[in-house]
Structure 1
Amino acid sequence: MAPDRTSPATLWIVATPIGNLEDISARAVRILKTVAVIAAEDTRHSARLTQHLGIDTPMLSLHEHNEQARTTQLLERLDAGESVALISDAGTPLISDPGFVLVRAVRQAGHEVQTVPGACAAIAAISVAGLPSDRFVFEGFLPARTTARRARLAALAEETRSLVFYESSHRIDKTVADMTQAFGAERQIALCRELTKLHEQSVCMGGAELVAWLATDDNHRRGEFVLVVAGAAAVERATSEIGLDALLRELLQITGTKPAASAAARLTGVTRNAAYARALELGAE
């Protein structure tokens, strides 16, 4: 095994399992045992993992509410020559989790930042989805509020790359229904739930079919979800074609939201629902 090329004062970004505890690497365990301190999103949650692995390294919390203050403290420890590891509750830190403020500050201070790669729910899902994976967009969690969520989906309706989202059990049915409205009933959506856990399940079907599938069994709506949505079919457009936003802005000056959305849908080829949602968003600006 080649030694890690690093100075003592290094920030390690360490991926941890998203479910199955066997998915942590030997290198990750070694780093977590040898650093001076582990910064964890939730120390009580992460303590179960460290105890299971026989790691007794001190931990402190680093989450969205204290990241700035913790960054100052951890920089002091790095300045003193200590190494620090950052972990999240599950998966790869910074992917829909805290850590960006810390990593940016550590780099600006001139310390090394190194990665110990491993589990990531988004990558795991796209690898099993059966949808194009050569180019994709990670969107993380959609807005919780219905209007904002629909507006964001409408803005993504013409994206030709596969789209990757995280979602909770509380909103999974509403989110899939909104996706079906924005993207059309036939757009393929892969739903991956409880990845690497006991009740792992993944299916891929058209949006309308997936809405019905979710309703057939309460268990289908339980757990943590990753949704992978097929990109829109590429359409060749004339270079002089007016974009959807520009067209809607002009139409909204002379007519109501619904007529503007209907006209924009006919002229651009997007769905009426997508055009209407985008018109609402533009009208609120």
Structure 2
Amino acid sequence: MTWPTFAPTIALTALSLALGWRPLPLHPAWSARLLLVTMVATALAAASTIVFTTAVFVAGFLPVHAVAAGAQGRLLLDHGPLPAHLGAAASALLATGSWAAARLGIRHRRDLRAVRQAPSQVTGQDRPMAIAVPGRDGGVLVSRGLMRLLDREQLRVVFRHERSHLRHRHHIFSALGALSAALFPPLAVTHRSLLLSLERWADEDAVTDTGDRALVARTLARVALADPLPGPGPHPAFTGSHIVHRVQALMGAPPPQNRFVGPALLSGTSVASSGMASSSLQLHHLSALMVL
């Protein structure tokens, strides 16, 4: 294998980290979409590189005549041998990423089942909290503690925020982002930025529905001060993350709508990212290995 075969993964990783380094000057709805597209493309490119590199590395330890007996084996031998440190690193990343992705899926399924089967565990708590549970039998769960803490207008803010998460299917954004970061750990920085964008998106929807930025900021700050801990499981919670940044953003000017810049930037980035991810798959012959 030559270094140019790693170029798509390196380029996409650099793009994802650059986009996730600091909040983008876009409406959070467009920021979230942009971050998710680059994360998924980067994870696909990285996964294809890691899998193929590991396969080439493992093939180097097997008898040549046995590997060369099949078309897949000959394809792997054409790209070897690999330096030991490179093969070992790819093998470690593959094992770690697979284990992390499996754990993430099991935990997400377990937490979602628990909340759906026993919603009273949330609503009956004295801890002030609200979470959005997706699915046909889902909805917004608000605890007894939150009902006591907030007045009617503030509760309206909470429900508008959580319904925004459900309406825009933010749980899918979050799940795909978490899976991408599990498969390729360097994307953890970008995943945190994605979660911030999702919360900011829901905050701005609450502002649109209530017409009062200060009210949304006060509600968020009050709940965060009363209960600084994150919500349970992977479900979007009202005070899930980045409280200080979100309150500061709400106290400032509204974000630009980006009606033209947002779609154009998203389209361009999607085409470029998917093209690089596709080229990575082709460079590593994964489609050929599965067909042969």
TM-score by length of 2: 0.24
Structure that is richer in strand per residue: 1
Higher relative contact order (CA 8 A, sep 6+): 2
Could you tell me the TM-score, scaled by structure 1's length?
0.25
Q: Which has more helix, going by share of residues?
A: 2
